[in-house]
Amino acid sequence: MKVFRSPDNPIIKPEDVKPSGDDFEVIGVFNAGVTRFKEEVLLLLRVAERPISRHPDIVQTAVFDIDKGQLVIKEFSKDDPEIDFSDPRLIITPGGTYLTSISHLRLARSKDGISFEIEDRPAIAPENDYETFGLEDPRISLINGRYYINYVGVGRFGVTTCLASTKDFRTFERHGVIFCPDNKDVVIFPEKIEGKYYALHRPVSPLFGKQEIWISESPDLFCWGNHRCLMGPRPGFWDELKIGASAVPFRIEQGWLEVYHGVDQNNRYCLGAILLDSKEPRKVISRTQSPIFEPEADYEINGFFGNVVFSCGLLYEDKKLKIYYGAADTVICYAELSLEETIEILNL
């Protein structure tokens, strides 16, 4: 599979983004929702920040304090034997788990899809009990002229998926939690199919089951039911450990094309594709055997969490998949795949 990577990659880096407050630094800008709005490409960036370190032996992070209505700083000693820092994303303490950074969503606009102007202030930031550890991985679905944004809310209840919407990307209306904990990697199909809205999502069972892609339906985008498992990881494959939906599905002649992500035993994140039936998206018609896109460039292999290509959105234009993706949980990059080749490896 031929992948065209923009020679300007990474197109957005942490140093391009203004921190949301004094004494904070941006350590990652990645996993952006994407849409076209008027003449521009809009990205809703996930911006990960942490307090600027005051001592090398102390790990600091921030959480949103509901009562104070602001971020408060938490400190942990690197020497504390009871704390597990082995995953760079997590601080696991006997008293509970924290994230090493807190994310919010920020708008970026571009005329050419490559050079972006990034707003100075967050578009959507932690605000309630479901978001105290941050907002992550937005996806944007344009439905009947309104832009629906679903994002991961991380808080003391776990990992939920919340919904917001906007008409103008200036004001955002929140619609609350649409999938209970733990559930992420939600993508909402951009139109009703045979009278129903559909979403792919990824619930997690702590006891049984694997991290698999589920499909559900809704009359109104807010109440979701008729949940069923769509497909799971494949032992021995690049997507053996866990899978989740990535980009919002789009219609092609043969059905719905979905670009999803899969993870192997070494925590390497790649993208693959599936084709779902155009009238009954619960039917998987085809699934790529090998990844359509894998971490190979230096900025995909090395970073905050290396060996990751992770997409939350693409533009399907000119028979191309124009993919915006987070590389190594650090930067935003751009790549193009041809629809023709994608269809070929789906054996359609």
Residues 6 or more apart in contact with residue 301 via CB below 8 angstroms: 295, 307, 328
Q: Which is nearer to ligand MAN, 137 or 217 (CB)?
A: 137
Amino acid in position 82: E
Q: Which is nearer to ligand MAN, 47 or 275 (CB)?
A: 47
Query: Least Å distance between CB 231 and ligand MAN?
Result: 17
Query: Least Å distance between CB 246 and ligand MAN?
Result: 10
Between the alpha carbon of residue 41 and those of residues 36, 37, 49, 112, 237, the distances in Å are 5, 6, 24, 7, 34
Query: Least Å distance between CB 136 and ligand MAN?
Result: 5
CB-CB contact of 20 with 343 (8 Å): no
Structure letter (DSSP) for residue 53: P
Residue 342 φ/ψ, nearest 5 degrees: -60, -45
Q: Which is nearer to ligand MAN, 307 or 343 (CB)?
A: 307
Query: Least Å distance between CB 299 and ligand MAN?
Result: 14
Structure letter (DSSP) for residue 18: -
* Pairing verdict, β 269-276 and 309-317: unpaired
- The CA distance from 150 to 168, in Å, is 16
Could you give the 3-state DSSP secondary structure of residue 326? strand
- Which residue in the shown chain puts its C-beta closest to ligand MAN? 310
Q: Which is nearer to ligand MAN, 136 or 294 (CB)?
A: 136
- The CA distance from 224 to 227, in Å, is 8
Amino acid in position 160: T
Query: Least Å distance between CB 240 and ligand MAN?
Result: 15
Q: Which is nearer to ligand MAN, 161 or 275 (CB)?
A: 161
**Exposed e or buried b per residue across 211-239, where buried means at least 16 C-beta atoms within 10 angstroms of its C-beta:** bbbbbbbbeebeebeeeeebbbbeeebbb
Query: Least Å distance between CB 308 and ligand MAN?
Result: 5
Structure letter (DSSP) for residue 272: E
Query: Least Å distance between CB 241 and ligand MAN?
Result: 11
Q: Which is nearer to ligand MAN, 255 or 326 (CB)?
A: 326
Which residues bind to ligand MAN, rule: CB under 6 A? 31, 89, 136-137, 184, 269, 305, 308, 310, 326, 329
